[in-house]
Amino acid sequence: MSQVLVLDAGGTISSAPAANGALAGGQALAAALGDAAADLRIERVYAGLSEEMSLTQAGEVVAAALAAAEREDVAAVVVTHGTDTMEETAFLADIHWTSAKPIVFTGAQRSPGQPGFDGLDNLRDAFALAQKPEAHGLGAWIVFGGYALPARGAFKRHTSALDGFAHRMGLGVTLRQPLPRRVRPAPLPFGPCDEHVDLIGLGLGANGRLIDSAVAGGERGLVLEGLGRGNAGPVVAEAVSRAIAAGVAVAVTSRCAEGDVSPDYATGRRLADAGAVFCNDLSPSQSRILLARMLALHGEAGPALDAFRRWLSAG
């Protein structure tokens, strides 16, 4: 009989205090939940906190989920994951998800030993979504604090609130509402991400030294957290031009938590004219995931950015 399979990928939902009192990973979800886990089918795929996770380890979680979806005894996949990088692993799953079966990510803001532990409520809601017929064929989701959010565009909005996730384009819904539907680009071939891609944040009066240093240090891709709609001052634009001339792929997002980006201003148009790709509705962290995968697939910056643009235009 097909059932929901839980993949235990660590995080606060299965954490416990270390000797110094700080929360640490390593405990299995089944042990953390105790009797509440008796009826769950759980397979452990990562042990630790999500901020300790590498791109390679995130890929291993996704690989396990893809393999699970191929099994006849699995109707849907729920992944319990740390909240700090959940938006990235969920998006990595989404861009590779070939199955019509739902995959749902969830976790907790409070550990099993803390008052108000929210993991069981989030697990219950994740199961509810995973078993909804309308969730089939819609890719990956994050369910948290009573809300369901498409993985693409979801982000952690609050460090500790129980409803700590939101959606960049406002597509989060309660479990009683119809699920938002959007066109999904064709899944990418599964494989590793290029590890040499980094994020650089911009602020008032930002200079280009971090960009130049990243290029000198061997980064093959850069994601800029631009201002507003994806803007940057002329000194930054000059550094971006140097990076692109050196063969580094540059993508532009916004430090704003909500909304999309577009080179509507001269300050953004300079970046686009230099060859940077504007990431539409993708957050900085998810843009980094996609750029890292495109570089791994296509090798060089030019083909990787062309593929990035095609992916954006497809959905």
Tokens, residue 294: 């495109």
Report the distance separating Cα 197 and Cα 88, nearest Å. Answer: 14
Report whether 197 contacts 291 (CB < 8 A). yes
CA distances from 268 to 24, 214, 234, 273 (A): 42, 21, 10, 9
Q: Is 106 a catalytic residue?
A: no
Residue 249 exposure: Cα atoms within 13 Å on the Cβ side = 31
Burial 206-243 (b: 16+ CB within 10 A, else e): bebebbeebbeeebbbbbbbbbebbbbbeebbbbbbeb
Report whether 194 contacts 222 (CB < 8 A). no
- Give me the catalytic one of 12, 56, 80, 83: 83
Catalytic residues: 83
